[in-house]
A and B are shown apart, each in its own frame.
Chain A
Amino acid sequence: MSLPPRRLIGDAALALLAAAPLAWACLGAGGPALLFLGRAAAVLGLALLLLAAMISARIPGLDLWFGGLTRLWRLHHLLGAASFLLLMAHPLLLSFAAARFSVSAASAVLFPGPSAWGVWAGWAALAAMAGFLAPTFSFFGAPEYQRWKSLHALSGAAIALGLAHALASGALLTGAAARAWWGSYGALALLAFAWRAFAARRFARKGYTVAAANAAGRGVVELTLRPDGRLLERRPGQFVYLTPLDTSLAAGRGEEHPYTLSSAPDEPVLRVVVKDLGDASRALQSVAVGSRALVEGPFGEFFPRGGAGAPELWIAGGVGLTPFLSRVRELGPSRPVDAHLVYCVQDETRAHFRAELEAAAARFPGFRLSMHYFAQEGPLTAAFLRTRCPDAARRAAFVCGPPALIAAARTELRRAGVPASRVHAEDFNWL
């Protein structure tokens, strides 16, 4: 499968921006290998940290250069992790480089006198980084969403301290070059932060009214949102950030959370399916009809623009049905489809929207539905896929659901003969 060129350009630009300061700094650099590695780790690590900040700003349209917002989030996550590893290696390598002279030299590199404030700024930056990454990487258990978000604000302090350290103590990038590189990267990160903190609230979030709230089953509600102004342009599989403003909500008022659109793109309203997975989504089950909400988006690119280029096999786990529901709802004489949906749920009581799906399957010949009940049939298997969908191997597979289902589906799809390059999966665990 050839990658979409737009994504290639985005990835190449990111790699170039990551490597550029180090490449510049390496011109004419020399010295003992450990010393050089220690300094290089710092330059690359700081560049990755600043890039992670830049791409996290959810700037409209930017995600499409990276294959959608979920993939951009994954890149952000990887950049953050790589940066943390490099910035931890940095002081240790410098210390090892000094260990040839004496033990106290190795120690003095890490813990110099109180006047070497640049080094202490570096320590403070690393401490802030550990503070905001610990919940992200569940060092001490999975955090609650809003607490995670507020701790992540420490990243601003980590960046400011890291930049101060680089300008005061940098040995590979120094003087005017350091100011130019770190100044421009820092300014871009700051702009991204400013967009997120101030401008996005004003320009990116649009006003909506909750026009209906239909219970689809126990703990699952479908909200209909009517726009104040123009409805946003959207495609099936995309998602929005929803901020409910209903004052009677028990939790989550004014908090934004991502939800995949379940409505067809040509509907005059937006619809989202909300499952009670936390305090905020539980409170939303009884949101007041007529209350206000803000919507930002859409984001994501689950279904490729221009089609999959092959008949499709859809595998949905629970509320992961949403992007496929949107596709089913746009079916019509002018929009034929050749798609087989395998809808995996625990048992019949959790088979939300089943009647609607069955009606669509009866009406549109290109659309077929197979229910898979974990309680009766156990885990999803290649044998099940081959029995229900004999031509599975020639289809492009789209999987949406919890991480465990996606992992299982990838394995079983491979066994059923679908090459990995034709499996598109999206879990929303990264948002």
Chain B
Amino acid sequence: MKRFLFAAFISFLASAATIGLLGRLAPEDRPGAAAARPVSAEELARHGSSGDCWLAVEGGVYDVTSYVSSHPAPERVLTDWCGKEATEAFRTKGAGRPHGEEARALLETFRVGALR
């Protein structure tokens, strides 16, 4: 068991370091200049369907189209907010429960701009 745990521990460190390094080295999908691009409410509203879904959360605008089918809750819970300001819904999940930190981190990777 000792050897197995040691191997698992080293594998874990190596995997986490690799993932972290890849994240740093993959500039193409990192939120960059686009993150600050001003997005108007009208532009946001134009992306209001499940096939083209942007939402605004805490001042940021996010294109979550690719994520819609993976959302843990039923699809409509998310698609109802496409094209809209969804901060309150994100904070409460509709049942008074906030999203986890990893959901927040994930959301950041979909950022396309900031709500004007």
Does residue A259 face the partner (Cβ distance < 8 Å to B)? no
What residue of chain B has the Cβ atom nearest to residue A87's Cβ? Answer: B12
CB-based contact A106/B72 at 8 Å: no
Contacts of A110 in B (CB 8 A): 16, 19-20, 23
Q: Given the complex, which residues of A lie within 8 Å of B26, measured CB to CB?
A: 102-104, 107
Chain B interface SS verdict (over half): helix
Contact: B109 with A102, CB < 8 Å?
Answer: yes
Report the minimal beta-carbon distance from A36 to chain B, rounded to whole angstroms.
8
Would you call the interface of chain A mostly helix, strand, loop, or mixed?
Answer: helix
Smallest Cβ-Cβ distance to B31: which chain A residue: A104
Q: B19 contacts A171, CB within 8 Å?
A: no
How many of chain B's residues have a CB under 8 angstroms from any CB in A?
38
Residue in contact with A175 in the complex, picked from B6, B24, B96, B103, CB distance below 8 Å: B96
Within 125-152 of A, Cβ neighbours of B (below 8 Å) are at: 130, 133, 137-139
Question: Which residues does chain B contribute within 8 Å of A70, judged by CB atoms?
Answer: none
**B102:A94 contact, CB within 8 angstroms:** yes
Complex Cα spacing A108 to B100, Å? 13
Chain B positions within 8 Å of A102 at CB level: 26, 29, 109
Q: Is the CB of B70 within 8 A of A137?
A: no
Q: Which residues of A contact B29 (CB under 8 A)?
A: 102-105
**Residue of chain B at shortest CB distance from A172:** B100
Query: Judging by beta carbons under 8 Å apart, are A103 and B22 in contact?
Result: yes
Stretch of A111-119, A344-352, A407-415 contacting B (4+ beta carbons < 8 Å): A111-119
By the criterion CB–CB under 8 Å, are B72 and A175 in contact?
no
Of B9, B31, B97, B108, the contact of A139 (CB 8 Å cutoff): B9
Judge whether A108 and B105 touch: CB under 8 Å: yes
What sequence of 0s and 1s flags, for each residue 1-37 of chain B, a beta carbon within 8 Å of any chain A beta carbon? 1100110110010011001101110100111000000
Taking a contact as CB atoms under 8 Å apart, the answer to whether B109 and A88 are in contact is no
User: A5: CB under 8 A from chain B?
Assistant: no
Taking a contact as CB atoms under 8 Å apart, the answer to whether A138 and B105 are in contact is no
**With A108-B23, A116-B104, A119-B102 as given contacts, are A101 and B110 in contact (CB-CB < 8 Å)?**
yes
Say whether A85 faces chain B, with CB atoms less than 8 Å apart. Answer: yes
A170-B100, A174-B98 known; A116+B5 contact, CB < 8 A: no
Q: From known contacts A84-B5, A88-B12, A107-B20, infer whether A100 and B70 are also in contact, taking CB-CB under 8 Å.
A: yes
The verdict on A103 contacting B23 (CB below 8 Å), with A32-B72, A137-B1 known, is yes
Contacts of A85 in B (CB 8 A): 5, 8
Provided the pairs A100-B70, A104-B29 are in contact, do residues A88 and B8 lie with their beta carbons within 8 angstroms? Answer: yes
- Across the A-B interface, give the 4 residue pairs with the lowest CB-CB distance, nearest first: A107-B23, A31-B72, A171-B100, A105-B109
Residues of A within 8 A of B (CB): 29-32, 35-36, 81, 84-85, 88, 91-92, 94-95, 98, 100-113, 116, 118-119, 130, 133, 137-139, 168-171, 174-175
Sample of 18 further A-B pairs with CB below 8 A, known A101-B70, A112-B105:
A30-B72, A30-B73, A84-B8, A88-B8, A88-B12, A103-B22, A104-B26, A104-B30, A104-B109, A105-B109, A106-B19, A107-B23, A108-B109, A109-B102, A119-B101, A133-B5, A169-B100, A169-B101
